[in-house]
Amino acid sequence: MLHQSGGKVYLTHDIDWLHPWHPYSFVKWALRNKRWLSMNQMLQRDIYLRQIERLIAFEKQAGVTSIFLLGSSQRSFGLHDLRYRAGSSAYRELLVLLKDHETGLHSTGSTPIEDQLRWLGQFTGKPVRFHRSHFFKFDRAALYPVLEAHGITTDFSEGEARRVNFTLRDSGEHHINVVPTVISDNAFFYHDPREVFKAFRKNLNNAASLQTDIAVLWHPENMLIEPKLLEYYHEIILICKSHNYHFIPTL
């Protein structure tokens, strides 16, 4: 089968957790949630950071690199907050790990987004150009003007957490490149892997026929819960390659 030349695929990772000792981590464990860390993993204080290191090493070997989207808020207990405080010791170590990587904001709805964008720039010392809303929850009319005013060039907030999906949208009169997140690794927690790959191929073909760029989202913490997700990530990279997609960022 001849694949037409695709667009670009952005490899991205959202950082939702950094501390296995966050109180909600114990709540999740106590609820015997099957999709959570084991107690042995929970006892390893730096387990998330080490997983991010492994992910970076894996990508290096696979000949790709990625964008990490981080929070920048001090809030970590609200319903929609990320489960870490920006500026904590683990957060500072994360910034060191990511010093040569592209980074962007993973925003929450609990704090004005202008503040989160400004704080992330201060923490990383780099301009913030990429963005994704936590849980894909956002209000287009409110979000795009703020992103544009703060120099964000690319937004990945269009997508679904549990299902492979491709919906073409734009930012209207705003100068934001809206890149849909076609697949999140969470899809593998809800569907048979064969179905997920099938749906991904189909959506990738649709995106390619429209010459549209897409984003792929993998969470470091999910790979701790389900180690097969690293293999699945590799498979997704190979499928993109076979469809002549170019990877962003470039090495």
Task: Give 155-160 contacts, CB < 8 A, sequence gap 24+.
Answer: 155/130, 155/131, 155/179, 156/10, 156/12, 156/69, 156/130, 156/131, 156/132, 156/180, 156/181, 156/215, 156/217, 157/131, 157/132, 157/133, 157/181, 159/184, 159/215, 159/217, 160/136, 160/184
With CB under 5 A, what is the number of residues at the site for Zn ion?
A: 3
Nearer to Zn ion, 16 or 213 (CB): 16
* Shortest Å distance, C-beta 25 to Zn ion: 15
Regarding beta strands 181-184 and 214-217, do their DSSP bridges make them parallel or antiparallel, or are they unpaired? parallel
Nearer to Zn ion, 14 or 185 (CB): 14
Query: In this chain, which residue has its C-beta nearest to Zn ion?
Result: 134
Tokens 């464990």, located at residue: 29
Helices of type H across 4-88: 23-30, 39-42, 47-62
Nearer to Zn ion, 12 or 124 (CB): 12
Binding to Zn ion by CB under 5 A, coded x per residue (else -) over 126-155, reads --------x---------------------
Nearer to Zn ion, 14 or 158 (CB): 14
Give the amino acid at 92. Answer: R
Task: Return the bridge partners of 68, or none.
Answer: 13, 103
* Shortest Å distance, C-beta 106 to Zn ion: 6
Could you say whether residue 81 binds Zn ion (CB under 5 A)? no
Q: Which of 12, 13, 15, 16 binds Zn ion (CB under 5 A)?
A: 16
Q: Which of 10, 11, 14, 76 binds Zn ion (CB under 5 A)?
A: 14
* Shortest Å distance, C-beta 97 to Zn ion: 19
The residue ranges that bind Zn ion (CB under 5 A) are 14, 16, 134
